[in-house]
Amino acid sequence: MKLDFKILTGVLAIIVIGCDRQPPKDMQSLGSVEPVHLSDTNFHIEVIESQVPVLVDMWAPWCHPCIAMKPTIRDVTEDLNGTAKVGELNIEENPFIKEKYNIDKYPMLLIFVDGKEVQRLVGMKTHDELVEAVVTSTVRHNAGVN
């Protein structure tokens, strides 16, 4: 009975007092880099005005291949961190961008360099295919090759 009381007291103390550590202000210090959540509102700033190449994942919540690609998109985000930006745009919630870029197949991945769409990929892609596409598109664009 005394042991149960001590355990209960310890658990209660943890619940009431809580953790004494604050999460780091810089979440990247944890090694967790997430894609940028894009919308009709922030697309121009995050993509068109970006100083680095941007891979945009156009996805829909009802699209099974789109959902299946989420872990790959997150891995690519981590690997390209500092070199390129990765963003995700839910086309169901952002009809303006969907219409402007004629998004009619999913998943659709667009690569932007210097604010211009330089490549469009349709369907499921591997991590290596996405990284190679971003690197190749950037090199070709910077060399003036279409």
Q: What are the percentages of helix, strand and coil residues in the chain, rounded to 5?
A: 45, 20, 35
Q: Is 56 helix (H, G, I), strand (E, B) or coil?
A: strand
- The domain covering 34-142 belongs, at the CATH homologous superfamily level, to Glutaredoxin (3.40.30.10)
Mean pLDDT by 10 residues, the chain (146 residues): 53 46 46 90 98 98 97 98 97 97 97 98 98 97 86
Q: Where are the domains of the chain?
A: 34-142
Please confirm, yes or no, whether 63 is among the known catalytic residues: yes
Phi, psi at residue 106, to the nearest 5°?
-140, 150
What's the pLDDT score for residue 4? 54
* Catalytic residue of the set 55, 60, 66, 118: 66
The per-residue pLDDT for 17 is 47
Q: Cα 68 vs. chain centroid, distance in angstroms?
A: 14
CB 35: neighbour CB atoms within 10 A? 19
pLDDT of residue 12: 44
> Which listed residue (39, 40, 42, 63) is catalytic?
63
How many CA atoms does the CB half-sphere of 84 hold within 13 Å? Answer: 29
Q: For residue 19, indicate whether it is catalytic.
A: no
On the 0-12 / 13-18 / 19+ scale of CB atoms within 10 A, 143 is exposed
What pTM was computed for the model?
0.78
The pLDDT value given to residue 32 = 72
Query: Tell me, what's the pLDDT at 145?
Result: 83
How far CA 89 is from CA of 60, 67, 100, in Å, comes to: 8, 12, 13
Q: Which contiguous run of DSSP H or E holds residue 117?
A: strand 116-122
Q: Is 82 left (phi over 0), alpha (psi -120 to 50) or beta?
A: left
